[in-house]
């Protein structure tokens, strides 16, 4: 089971944020970037470049969830690559 910690939250508007989240287990850790659109859509990016390209309409998110519960379940079980 992974643990996850919000490292930074950037407020684009009061109801739209980008969170930098550290996901870790006993051996590995990985940073994810999460775009929270009004609490109705959570888009997860594996790197900062893909997040930037998403806002330029040049890329899609790596994962998308409709609720915080789904997002937390993903972060708790995601396979950490490095």
Q: CA 19, CA 33: separation in Å to the nearest integer? A: 6
Rounded CA gap, 45 and 82, in Å? 15
Query: What are 17-35's pLDDT values in tens digits?
Result: 999 999 999 999 999 999 9
Which residue is it, tokens 């684009």? Answer: 12
Q: How far apart are CA 62 and CA 33, in angstroms?
A: 10
Nearest CA-CA partner of 68 in 36, 23, 26, 21: 36
- Residue 48: the pLDDT is 95
- Is position 58 within any domain? yes
Split into its structural domains, the chain has a count of 1
Distance of CA 58 to the CA centre of its chain: 18
The band of 39, judged by pLDDT with boundaries at 50, 70 and 90, is: very high
The residue segments making up the domain with residue 17 are: 3-77
> Does 44 fall in a domain?
yes
Q: Taking the model in full, what pTM does it have?
A: 0.93
50 in a domain, yes or no? yes
């Amino acid at each position: 089971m992974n643990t996850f910690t919000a490292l930074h939250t950037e407020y684009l508007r009061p109801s739209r944020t980008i969170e930098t989240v550290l996901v870790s287990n006993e051996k590995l850790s990985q940073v994810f970037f999460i775009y929270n659109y009004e609490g109705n859509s959570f888009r997860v990016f594996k790197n900062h470049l893909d997040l930037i390209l998403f806002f330029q309409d040049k890329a899609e998110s790596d994962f998308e969830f409709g609720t915080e519960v789904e997002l937390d379940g993903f972060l708790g079980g995601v396979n950490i690559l490095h």
